[in-house]
Structure 1
Amino acid sequence: MKTLVLAALATGLMATSALSSDIETRKVSFENEGVTLSGTLYLPSERQSGDKLPVVVVTGAWTSVQEQMPETYARKMVERGFAAFTFDFRGWGKSGDLPKSVRFVESPDAKTSDIREAFAFVATLPEIDSAQIHGLGICASSGYMVDAVAGNPLVRRIGLVAPWLQNSEIVEAVYGGAEGVAGLIDVSRAAAAKGGEIIRAAGPEGAQGVLMPIGGYYYEADRGAIPEYDDKWNNAGWEGWLTYHPADNPQRLDKPLAVVHSEAAAIPQGVRAFLQGFAGDATTQWLEGVSQFDFYDNPEDVERSADTVADHFRAATQSKN
């Protein structure tokens, strides 16, 4: 099922709102492929009645929910003059009312489809300038964002922060070579055959039986280990993730691009491979000594990243792209 009937938007969808300093947040929902997705619209609280704002749809790292790094960057976009929109992908967070077989599955196809529908949804909102819609992908969702933006007439520009853009060579380097990848694909197929196999997503360094035994952002209560975080991973998702190679397909992107990354963050070689094959306009900023997790919530690094992508989106009002 595609976007809900427009006449219902002003009443049924915008059911709740809250104010936080100078930012208004409004809980909304929209439909995609028969699933109800939960989202949040962020607006400057002092906007004038009737104002239509440019908007940035923000998506986060794998296993994340909208209250983590997507909310962090959404608020930064509002501080820079934009509206912003975040949402939980199907099977995650508040959009998680699905069977076990498809809950917590890191599905590039499903997440890309959800982003496309989020663009279609925000284009119908009365506060939004539908001619000024942009996409911001963080970490794993960068590839999904590229796929959702490519060839999409609703979207003007795209920004990527700490993008995880992998190809087969990177996948093998990260996941134990060809043998390790094949083993995880076997795990994926076995999990899918029994209707899903859900494990913990994050744990302390060296923990057994978790997806990310590395500590850091997802495991720290004052960072990403917030109550809203599912902290789950479905082993049935390995095959879709490992066979997804966004670094190999930069030519599909037909929108101006801004990238913020660091050699000290995850797989910078994927960004270089993508940019080498990208024929369009690209703004790049390489920050020194910034880790992957620092891009998620370290104030200085978030501010610098937000400045770069906001400037990139703002330039759309002076160009035809």
Structure 2
Amino acid sequence: MAEKQTVSLKGWAWDIAADVYFPPSFDPAKKYPAIVSGHPTGSCKAQTSGNIYGTALADAGFVVIAFDASFQGESGGEPRLVEDPGFRTSDFSFVIDYLVTQPYVDDANIGVLGICGGAGYAVAATKIDRRIKALGTVVGSNVGRLMREGFSEYNPLGMLEALAAQRTAQARGAAAQINPLLPPSVQAAKDAGLTDIDVVEATDYYKTDRGQAAGGETSFNFVYQGPLATWDAYDRVETFLTQPLCVVIGDKVGAFASYRLSMELYGRAASKDKELVVVEGASHYDLYDRPEPTGEALAHLVPFFGTHLHLGD
């Protein structure tokens, strides 16, 4: 079973908290390929990016580092609960800066895994940082696209007008507006007529013992959502996303659009070596923690990363 060490590493002007998962029989005198695991939007390192995929990939022989995004979880940055695409993207490179200083990391073989919204930021980071040699996504989403769609009720300009008014109010002393992304319980979702599979299953994951964790607050600090309204994770992937790519999705479609958006990424990416994995009968949140769907995802991700990060060479 993978052993875990919690570390603190330097970000912009604050520290980033991360959990490092080590392979069984880890030998610090050896060098290992490494994978950076990025958590979903509103999530934290203690959830699916670390406890499911982090442990499994470490058990397969990789060093894996799952981190909390800036302004979220146990990482630093004020104000809290900011979901800014620039910072979220650059977090990956700061984590890699840490990895390349560790003597047990093979700095020529570093990959990235992103889950849900974390996949969009992983895509953006992989376009920029050529130290990333392979990219895997699980139920990948593009939060900028969702902000222009459902998160703004398909009225991004109206959202920006409301954001401007709230920012002025806060500058004059009003309290911050923290917007929950989910209902407080599955029953509350049903009572509100929210029946979409992604909304219901996200609530079941994040609001119960199934996946609940202290750092996974599933909330946005409203006045800092503006950059997402004009950002797109897939901008110019036809030119800049050339690294090997493995895209994993389930075939049960929900409002968070991972099926549609992951298919788009797979189709548009410039990667010459790319693989699409559709897990039959699996929903978005099945691929967070359910043993059979995550097992099928890992059955593809492990050899994918093993090949492109030269595991065992």
Residues paired across the two proteins, number = 289
Tell me if the contact between 1:59 and 1:86 (Cα under 8 Å) persists in the aligned partners. Answer: yes
Q: Determine if the alignment matches structure 1 residue 52 to structure 2 residue 31.
A: yes
Tell me if the contact between 1:106 and 1:237 (Cα under 8 Å) persists in the aligned partners. Answer: yes
Q: Determine if the alignment matches structure 1 residue 77 to structure 2 residue 77.
A: no
Aligned to 1:8: none
Q: Distance in 2 between matches of 1:272 and 1:213?
A: 21
SS in 1 for 2:125: helix
Q: Determine if the alignment matches structure 1 residue 184 to structure 2 residue 175.
A: no
Q: Distance in 2 between matches of 1:186 and 1:213?
A: 26
Aligned to 1:255: 243
Please show how residues 178-257 of structure 1 align to structure 2 within 5 Å.
Answer: 178=154, 180-193=155-168, 194=170, 196-202=176-182, 203-204=184-185, 205=189, 214=200, 215-221=203-209, 223-251=210-238, 252-257=240-245
Identical aligned pairs, as a percentage?
23
Tell me if the contact between 1:54 and 1:133 (Cα under 8 Å) persists in the aligned partners. Answer: yes
Q: Deviations over 1:222-254 (max 9, x none)?
A: x22223433432112332223222234322212
**Which residue identity lines up with residue 83 of structure 1 in the other structure?**
V
Aligned to 1:272: 263
Counterparts in 2 of 1:45 and 1:26: CA distance versus 1, 3 Å:
same
Q: Distance in 2 between matches of 1:245 and 1:225?
A: 29
Aligned to 2:195: none
Aligned to 2:66: 86
Q: Distance in 1 between matches of 2:13 and 2:293?
A: 38
Select which of 113, 116, 139 maps to 1:136. Answer: 113
Tell me if the contact between 2:39 and 2:68 (Cα under 8 Å) persists in the aligned partners. Answer: no
Q: Which has the higher contact order (CA 8 A, sep 6+)?
A: 2
SS in 2 for 1:93: coil
SS in 2 for 1:303: helix
Q: Distance in 1 between matches of 2:143 and 2:251?
A: 15
Q: Determine if the alignment matches structure 1 residue 106 to structure 2 residue 83.
A: yes
Tell me if the contact between 1:76 and 1:303 (Cα under 8 Å) persists in the aligned partners. Answer: no
Aligned to 2:18: 39
